[in-house]
Chain A
Amino acid sequence: MKQASEIIQTLQDQFPDQVVKSSQECLQPFVVVAPDAVAEICAFLKNDPDLAFDTLMCLSGVDYKNSKKEPERFEVVYHLFSMRHRHKIVLKAELSREDASLPTVEAVWAIANWHEREAYDMFGIHFDGHGDLRRILCPDDWVDYPLRKDYVQPETYRGMPAAPAKQFAERAQEGEDLGTDPFSAG
């Protein structure tokens, strides 16, 4: 088992140009790496016998738009765990919101295939070299990426109303005539 500081140090030694920054003051220490080098770094993390990160616990997209405290960007976060050595690290890649693409890691951990599809489906992040980059949770012909912070919900989907119907109370408050009450009708 290695401490997070040792793992970060190894990464900095191995990839001096690709490690952008790291932090150990937070709850779970993380490393920010250059997006283009993600696949290479992940392969190293998995294959190095002292690190041996054999599982990808979670892969998430995060959209930092409208955040009061963070600059605007996309982030892809990899939570890694080593079953052999029982240590963890968090890997992050920062992308611009305009041109969000980075290499796939599906060759490293098979589960990344589905996680990346989900990130593509929800955020429109492209994973270069991915074998099967289709939408996974939304319908194939869904427009736009729902978990982006500037997502606008469509009015209709294939002619069906997609926005939630207004409640009766809401409609009455807006002054709509909902008809007479059947019990009080004279």
Chain B
Amino acid sequence: MQVEAYAGEEMVLNMGPQHPSTHGVLRLELETDGEIVRNVTPHIGYLHRCFEKHAENIDYPGVIPFCDRMDYIASMNNSLGYALAVEKLMDLEVNERVKTLRVLMAELNRIASHLLSVGTYAMDIGSFTPFLHCFREREKVLDLFEWLCGARLLYNYNWVGGVSHDIPEGFEAKTREFLTQFEPVIAELDKLLSYNKIFLERTADVGIISEEQALSHNVTGPNLRGSGIAWDLRKEEPYSGYETYDFEVPVGLGEHGPLGSCWDRYYVRVREMEQSLGLIRQALERLPEGDVHEHIPRRVRPAKSEVYDRTETPRGELGYYLVSDGGLIPFRVKVKSPCFTVLSLLPAIAKGGMVADIIAIIGSIDIVMGEIDR
């Protein structure tokens, strides 16, 4: 594009902090030249709730509700990562029922999270109907969770050494019912949105993340897979028994434009929902008997040690760096958030594009500010 031809007066434009398409409280300082973005500076921290400081002042199990509140769209996955990290510190092995239930809930939450991501992305781009379809389905997952543990968003479900509640009677049947009913919705979404001409025009040639950039910025999860790299921690470093499940890792193929575009990232999420459906079916089929409280320690007191443990959340690789000095409270908890790393790449990919493309890019990297700011 002949960008120089437009060169005129530069204007600084603040996008956010209160802007619906910034997905939370994010402020972007844009230096614009007409419609062209010359530079982007993200300002974060508006949702900083001192997670790491809090974690240094409460006991190990007490940190879990705070984990839920980081990425409030996928709380099950957040607390799972923390519980696994503490279990690794304590060298604690949980029983098969707990493992299976954790996978079941993590995948249900992944579907709910991807539905929100895909739905709001459609709305950002200007298509309102898919948003309603997605949220209708998401409600059903949240209903299941409410039935399971009483909460719709912040579950406090994955505990160190177990889970808080066993599934209620009839939960399996209801989950199966949801799966059968949800499966056609993905095909519907394809018809409604994925191959829509306007949607393709807005996303398929925008926000290209190259492989090199992705690695240097430690982009993970669907954003990395959108750039064509088949990397999924559930496959590469399986936890909670993922190695025994049969599933595929969808990657971006660049069918409608350059590889690593917004559309590729979007489409990886749609395909991942299908895989999650399969995982949930397998988990329901095998669900072994057992007591979910069997291995919950009376007192969580890891020996002096440290661990960096990472799991695959819907947004990518969530890492917990835990340092224990042998006490009842963690000495240090550091969280590596997948949204934090991908947002740092935004200036590099948004530069030189249009203002409207910023909206398309932010929606496609699927950030949750609660997790970035912690």
Tell me, in angstroms, the Cα distance from A62 to B56 when the chains sit together.
12
- Known contacts A77-B321, A136-B45; A90/B308 CB under 8 A: yes
Q: Which segment, of A36-44, A49-57, A172-180, faces chain B?
A: A49-57
| Interface contact B52-A139, CB-CB below 8 Å | no
Q: Which segment, of B65-73, B280-288, B333-341, faces chain A?
A: B333-341
| Interface contact B215-A79, CB-CB below 8 Å | no
| Interface contact A26-B334, CB-CB below 8 Å | no
Question: Which one, B52, B306, B325, B348, contacts A26 given CB within 8 A?
Answer: B306
B225 CB to nearest A CB, Å: 13
Question: Which one, B307, B317, B348, B374, contacts A137 given CB within 8 A?
Answer: B374
B53 CB to nearest A CB, Å: 6
Tell me the B304-324 residues at the A interface (CB within 8 Å).
304-308, 310, 317, 319, 321, 323
Nearest opposing residue in chain A for B340, CB measure: A114
Nearest opposing residue in chain A for B213, CB measure: A110
On chain B, the residues within 8 Å of A113 by CB distance are 344
Question: Which one, B215, B304, B373, contacts A55 given CB within 8 A?
Answer: B215
A110 CB to nearest B CB, Å: 4
- Tally A-B pairs: CB < 8 A: 88
A28 at the interface (CB under 8 A from B): yes
B331 at the interface (CB under 8 A from A): yes
Question: Which one, A26, A77, A137, contacts B373 given CB within 8 A?
Answer: A137
B166 CB to nearest A CB, Å: 31
Tell me, in angstroms, the Cα distance from A90 to B321 when the chains sit together.
11
Tell me, in angstroms, the Cα distance from A137 to B317 when the chains sit together.
21
A70 at the interface (CB under 8 A from B): yes
B256 at the interface (CB under 8 A from A): no
Per DSSP, are chain A's interface residues mostly helix, strand or loop, or mixed?
Answer: loop
Tell me the B38-61 residues at the A interface (CB within 8 Å).
44-45, 48, 50, 52-53, 56
A90 CB to nearest B CB, Å: 7
On chain B, the residues within 8 Å of A122 by CB distance are 52
A86 at the interface (CB under 8 A from B): yes
On chain B, the residues within 8 Å of A58 by CB distance are 308, 319, 321, 334, 336
Nearest opposing residue in chain B for A26, CB measure: B305
- Known contacts A58-B319, A111-B217; A67/B44 CB under 8 A: no
Tell me, in angstroms, the Cα distance from A79 to B236 when the chains sit together.
17
| Interface contact B44-A79, CB-CB below 8 Å | no
| Interface contact B307-A27, CB-CB below 8 Å | yes
| Interface contact A57-B344, CB-CB below 8 Å | no
Tell me, in angstroms, the Cα distance from A140 to B340 when the chains sit together.
19
On chain B, the residues within 8 Å of A137 by CB distance are 44-45, 48, 373-374
Q: When each residue 84-118 of chain B gets 1 if its CB lies under 8 Å from chain A and 0 otherwise, what string results?
A: 00001100000000000000000000000000000
| Interface contact A27-B88, CB-CB below 8 Å | yes
Nearest opposing residue in chain B for A117, CB measure: B344
Tell me, in angstroms, the Cα distance from A60 to B340 when the chains sit together.
14
On chain B, the residues within 8 Å of A63 by CB distance are 332
On chain B, the residues within 8 Å of A26 by CB distance are 305-306
| Interface contact A62-B332, CB-CB below 8 Å | yes
Nearest opposing residue in chain A for B229, CB measure: A83
B216 at the interface (CB under 8 A from A): yes
A166 at the interface (CB under 8 A from B): no
| Interface contact A79-B321, CB-CB below 8 Å | yes
Tell me, in angstroms, the Cα distance from A167 to B361 when the chains sit together.
43
B29 CB to nearest A CB, Å: 13
B302 CB to nearest A CB, Å: 10
B36 CB to nearest A CB, Å: 23
On chain A, the residues within 8 Å of B44 by CB distance are 136-137
6 new A-B contacts, CB < 8 A, other than A54-B215, A68-B326, are: A58-B319, A68-B325, A83-B229, A110-B217, A113-B344, A136-B44
Chain B residues packing against A (C-beta within 8 Å): 44-45, 48, 50, 52-53, 56, 88-89, 213, 215-218, 229, 231, 236, 304-308, 310, 317, 319, 321, 323, 325-327, 331-332, 334, 336, 340-341, 344-345, 348, 373-374
List 10 tightest A-B contacts by C-beta distance, closest first.
A60-B334, A137-B45, A58-B336, A110-B216, A114-B344, A137-B48, A111-B218, A111-B217, A54-B215, A79-B308
14 pairs of residues in contact across A and B, judged by CB atoms under 8 Å: A27-B88, A28-B308, A54-B215, A58-B319, A58-B336, A62-B334, A63-B332, A67-B325, A109-B216, A109-B218, A111-B341, A114-B340, A137-B45, A138-B48
